[in-house]
Amino acid sequence: MIEQLLSNPILQFSVLVVTTIAVLVALGRNPTIRFIVSVCFFALLTATLLSHDIAPYSPDFGDDVLSRRITTGLLKAVWWIGGAIVLVSAVRLFLIFENKPREGRLAQDLVIGIIYLGAGLALIANVFSLPVGTLIATSGAFAIVLGLALQSTLNDVFSGIALNLGRPYSVGDWIVLEGGFQGRVVETNWRSTHLLDGTNDLVVLPNSTLAKARLINLTRPDNTHGVAITVRFLPTRSPATIEETMRTVLLSSFAILKTPAPTALVVGVDSQAVEIELAFRVSGFSAAGAARSEIYDLVYRHAKANGLRLAGPREAVVLQSEAPPENQSVKHPGTPWRLLESIPLFATLTEDEKDAIASSMTRRTYQKGSVIASKGSKLTSLMIMRTGVAALQRVEGGRPVELARLSPGDLFGERGVLVDAAEAGDTTALTFVVIYEITKEDLAAVMRDRPALAEELGVLLSRRMEEEKHLSNAHAIEHGTHPDTMATRIRRLFEIQRESELP
């Protein structure tokens, strides 16, 4: 009885299946081990079937016993499925495209599909003893009908294959389609491509649409992105002078790449305007918006500092007599007063207070390459940029680190004036620079009457120190950088009361 049980193919098959499952559960996480286990299972199953005179690769026509035919068919079906699993494991383990995961995955899926299709046809022929040729011929008409019904889906699938092979884009790329739609690719599959648009909404596009559309990949051939801006000025100065001012704008920008070098070119001149095109590159498409905003702000500031006036759009015709006059005060035509008027920090001061500061301001000029303030020095005046560009730099780890770029309207020297701290780096003139300075004593006289000015200066200094720490990964100075703490230090240093404490 025991011998008969042990020689039963169903019992042997059951023991083999249980043993294989136990080994896979214990050690089957590694794909190499799974491949070895599947090969061993298939080899032992083949030996078991052949030892009982069961040929899994040929149909069985001579057995009339129903139970034996069912048992034999079951074992053959498992044998063909096991063989397909062995081939699939080998494909997943050995069919790998180096540095081309998408092509490798596509090739794997296609080969695995062919393997399972072949195993299914072999199973039909050798287990169910059906004529495969007749079945294929019969299913041809059905395939045509099914193909017509699924024409759109199949079009998307084959377009997905073409896009995966051609790789016009990949996950993470920014693309622009016809009509101006743009988005970042977050997922690609056989049927569709998923994009995130500018408002962070998910857009699903069929692959057939993308395969036919003309698209621009903003992330290729590298991650940098080019931006071009056109600005128009009234022809009150020569085009060369305006062009040179716009080069200064690009030089003063901290958000654009310095390599390749940005360009400013005259692209049009007529009686109404001089057109200048500013072209530059940024580190990525997502940084283009912030860089464009910074450039527009710098264009306005440098134009105002150099007496340039922006022109209206090309479509608008403005008569020379109707052109708006320059926005300057009739009562206070002096440059120091106008400079204070253009800086938001001093916007809350009264005209008398601005008069008092403007009358005490001193004009300084620096040639290109001059060191305006060296690292470690303590400035005793608040410096206001009138024209030109300056850079704040220091050396860390043997290499220069740029902390900020100063343009018309920017302030520096607030460390020494406000908290008696040393400069974080060398401030160097990158162009010819004109600076107006306000002494500590003159500023203190105004802050005692305007305590809110100390609060705003504290916020300015705190923000600048936070930016420097972010860029250099080190503490800018030893003092705390919280705005309230900084304002408290300023009030204590200048003996300023809060507005609520004033009589």
ω before 260 within 30° of 0 (cis)? yes
How many Å apart are CA 29 and CA 37, to the nearest integer? 11
pLDDT tens-digit map of 469-484 = 665 554 344 444 445 5
pLDDT tens-digit map of 70-97 = 777 788 888 888 888 888 888 777 766 5
pLDDT tens-digit map of 27-74 = 767 778 888 888 888 888 888 878 877 777 777 655 566 667 777 778
Residue 497 has pLDDT above 60, yes or no: no
Residue 500 has pLDDT above 60, yes or no: no
Domains 225-315 and 335-501 are alike in CATH topology: no
pLDDT tens-digit map of 210-231 = 888 888 888 777 788 889 999 9
User: Which helix (H) or strand (E) element contains residue 146?
Assistant: helix 132-149
- What three-state secondary structure class fits 495? coil
How many Å apart are CA 351 and CA 368, to the nearest integer? 34
Phi then psi dihedrals of residue 482, to 5 deg = -70, 135
pLDDT reported for residue 354: 83
Indicate the domain borders of the chain: 2-149, 168-217, 225-315, 335-501
Crossing angle of helices 31-51 and 66-94, rounded to 10°:
150
CATH architecture of residue range(s) 168-217:
Roll (2.30)
pLDDT tens-digit map of 311-355 = 988 776 554 444 445 444 445 567 888 888 888 777 777 888 888
- State the CATH class of domain 335-501: mainly beta
- What is the CATH number assigned to the segment(s) 225-315? 3.30.70.100
Q: What is the DSSP letter of 485?
A: H
Rounded mean pLDDT, 195-214: 85
pLDDT reported for residue 139: 62
Residue pair 215/173 in contact by the 8 Å Cβ criterion: no
